[in-house]
A and B are shown apart, each in its own frame.
Chain A
């Protein structure tokens, strides 16, 4: 079920600030699971599970990276900048889609690609006016749906962080006897930096915040050694990243929970990149920060790869934490 949800989630249009389709789908899945989800005025989806015990926020973001149309030239080519970090060279040849379904292929302006501004979009149109009938400057595109299962591994655009959303949905379904009060927060605008999660937490007064997000796996050929996790080696427990030193108490709590539930986990130390933790640490009266991460190869490309078993371990770990007396 989780991978079916991931397939659907990864295909939904939802660049930062435009998460409506994703929120609608998540709410529908929650309703099918008999769980009441609510949406706040910024579009964050919130689900509270359990009563008493520790007050824990589990958050993953619904938005994805994308391209912003900056100009349509006379020949009908679209010039772009990026919304969030994108691997420009790896985007070459990918198909992107706009909110209204308009598609275009990513091409390069010259022989090399060093930045997103070296790319352009070909709409298959012969002139500017034809394109302007469909899209305009400022409109945003995401990589078009391309989900595939390769054995136990799923590859698609937008795994970051639709994989986190799928894990959270699965965790909610698995929780049967919660011993803690857990606020699941599917947040908006993480990538643009404005962090809807801060608003979503609202009056919850959480003690602990756990981000659920993808993290770069370092086991691909030539992958930069900026992290420690490997695909298929279990759920990542974030120790630190460039924005946050996770709270030792939370790290220990997650490690002990994983051990008690016999779950496969790995330590996640990331030197480039960060979770929502940096913002969450300052929300309300402040929270202790942790992270449950999903190893992901080829992150920020149209073909991000995650492992089904890692995702299962992440969902099981979060559910076990909710059911553990802490």
Chain B
């Protein structure tokens, strides 16, 4: 499990630049599935034959991209100005390493040294515009030959174990969900299923528009992550299983699918509303009955996140159970 999670984490794939992981998923999909398609938006669709062929396609979907930064300018001093490509919390990125472009040029997020800041500046959190990437070059020309406007970067954060059950690393939202989908693809499925890995999930799920239009499924099970905590009542908890919610920000999930999921013997957490957009809206607009299933992840808006492997392992178990009940509910 850790080897595959590490492999999935190591791909550098900000929204729109998913080529490396797309190639991997298409190849792996070819080994595990019966048919592979890549649509014009770059979404990977893998068909896996099951015991029963439903009247309308059944889709399980998750995004394959990760948080990133976009290079905006290079200063005369060779420092790199950048903007955020996703919802990463700027407060958490100072001093973090970034890999830029196809050649994975290493940079570090910097700011005016603390001892040179004014008392007023110390009271506020700097925005992305006040930060820069330092790639170890001291002039514009030296930086410009390695990094240019429009290049994208991702945060550096190889997967590592923390304690007996948890892992820490970059791109964990993508890695844990895709791990669960690949794991499920290796099982004997009760129903024909399309596994759809979508692009631009961090850019308001743009890829899902195309994927939903291509498949026009009857049922869409949308996998995503949600903020997880170790204790408390305001958010789902890590190590308590996947989260089955009643709705997200825009879609009320299908009542029958939700009830069938809640009846599963697999460990899960019952939740009311996940206050975020998801792929569900796009699939619903194509007429699908939608259910969102979430993996709780800690530090979601930081460059590196933390997940509990027990939650991740329960995901394919829960989905397999749900696939087996689809005929009863739709």
Contacts and interface: CB of A to CB of B under 8 A. Distances in A.
Interface in B219-249: 233, 244-247, 249
Contact of B247 (A17, A20, A69, A195): A17
Contact of A138 (B218, B272, B284): B272
B270 A17 contact: no
A139 interface: yes
A68 B246 CA distance: 8
A313 B272 CA distance: 40
B218 A41 contact: yes
Contact of A17 (B254, B262, B271, B281): B254
A40 interface: yes
Interface string B181-225: 000000000000000000000000000000000000010000000
A138 B245 contact: yes
Interface string A17-42: 11010000000000000000000111
B252 interface: yes
B273 interface: yes
Interface band, chain A: 20 to 34
B255 interface: yes
A266 interface: no
B271 A192 contact: no
Given A68-B272, A81-B273, A138-B272, A192 B285 contact: no
Contacts of B289: 41-42
Given A68-B246, A68-B272, A189 B56 contact: no
B286 interface: yes
Contact of B271 (A16, A99, A138): A138
Contact of B255 (A17, A42, A68, A199): A17
Nearest to A69: B272
B294 interface: no
Contacts of B262: 136
B255 A18 contact: yes
Contact of B286 (A40, A71, A81, A199): A199
Contacts of B284: 42, 189, 194, 199
> Which one of A69, A137, A194, A198 has the highest number of Cβ atoms from chain B below 10 Å of its Cβ?
A194
A70 B234 CA distance: 9
A193 interface: yes
A324 to B, nearest CB: 32
Contact of A68 (B244, B247, B249): B247
Interface of B: 56, 218, 233, 244-247, 249-255, 258, 262, 270-273, 280-281, 284-287, 289
